[in-house]
Amino acid sequence: MLTLQKLFENVKSKIKNSYKIDEIDNIRIKYLGKKGIFSNCIKNLKNSSFEEKKKFFIVFNEIKKKIINQINKKKIELNKIILDQRIEKEKIDVSLPGRCRENGIIHPINHSINYIKNFFSQLGFESINGFEIEDEYHNFDALNIPKDHPARNNNDTFWFDEHRLLRTQTSSMQIRIMKKEKPPIRFIFPGKVYRNDYDSTHTPMFHQVEGLIVEKNINFSNLKWIIYNFLHDFFDKNISIRFRPSYFPFTTPSAEVDIITNVGQSLEVLGCGMVHPSVLKNVNIDSNFYSACAFGIGIERITMLRYGISDLRSFFENDIRFIKQFKHI
C-alpha cells in the first residue's frame, strides 16, 4: 500500500510540473497503460492472499481515479493556456480601419463598345459577335473586294493559308447575317479585327463596330439621321459633322464622316454608305425590292477623340495608371 501511495505522489508531482499535452499523455501511458507501472504492481500480487488482493484493489482503484482526475484537470488547464496564447496572437484590433479592396475598372475600349451597343439597341439593332478567323470569301469576295486589291496582300493581312485569315473587318458578319436572316435586318457587329500595321495611330489588333440595315425603302437620308444622332450622343450635341464622298468596294454611294473641332480641324470618325447591289446579289437579296445601308466605326479612334488620348498604343500597354484615369467614366 505504501508503494502505491509513493507512486501516486510521484505521478501527481510529474503532472503538476508538466507544461505540454504530450507530456501528460506520456505520464498516463507510463503509469496507467497496459504495460505501465501500476499494471506491473498488479502482476506482483499473484502469490498474495485474497484479503491482501482485496485491500490492494480498493486502494488501487481510488488512486487510479485520482490520477485520472489530475490528468484531466491538467489537460483542461493546458488547453486554456494554449487557447489564451492563440487568442492573444491572433487578436484583431477592431478599431483599425478596414482594408479597402478596389473594384476593377472597365477598359475605355469596352466602355465605348458598351455605350455603342446600348445606343443602337434603342434604335432596334441587335448586337452579335462573329468569327475572328475568317475565310477569303466572307472577308473579301462576297464584299465585292477584287482579287488585286491591296488589302489582300501579306503586308496588310495576316493569312493562315491561301483561304483563311484573321479578319480585317467585321463586315464579314454582314455577309453571314444576310445569308442567314431574311429582311428586315437590323444588326451591329462589334469585335476585334487584325491588320499588319503598328505605330502611334495603328495597332495589329483593334476594334470595330459595323452596322447594317436591310429593309424596304431604306435610303441615304435614313443613314445620315442614324449617324448624326449617334455622333451627337457620343461626343457632344454641339459638334459639327461633315459627310464627304468616298469609295468602298461594298457600298455605293459611300461617304466618310468627319467631326469638326473648335479650331476648324476635321477628324475622320467612320465610314458608311448604301450596300452595293452586287453584295446584296451575293447573299440572294433582291436589290430591286430591298435596299441596305451600312456603317463602320473604329472604336479606338472615337475613344481617343472623346477622351483626348494621343497614342493608340496606350490602350494595350497594361499600364494601370492609364486605366485608373477612366475609373469614373
pLDDT tens, 137-161? 999 999 999 888 888 888 889 999 8
Tell me, yes or no, whether 169 and 308 share the same domain. yes
Q: Are residues 59 and 129 in the same domain?
A: no
What's the domain count of the chain?
A: 2
How high does pLDDT run on average in the chain? 85
Cell numbers for 95: 478599431
Tell me, yes or no, whether 63 and 182 share the same domain.
Answer: no
Last residue of one domain, picked from the residues 89, 121, 142:
89
Residues 60 and 142 in one domain: no
- pLDDT tens string 216-257: 999 999 999 999 999 999 987 778 899 999 999 999 999 999
**pLDDT of res. 273:** 96
How do residues 5-17 score in pLDDT, each as one tens digit? Answer: 777 777 777 777 7
What residues contact 278, with CB distance under 8 A and at least 6 apart? 144
Range of the domain at 169: 108-324
DSSP tag of 257: E
On whether both 144 and 76 belong to a single domain, the answer is no
| Same domain, residue pair 14 and 44 | yes
The DSSP code sequence of 187-239 is: EEEEEEEE-S--BTTB-SEEEEEEEEEEETT--HHHHHHHHHHHHHHHT-TT-
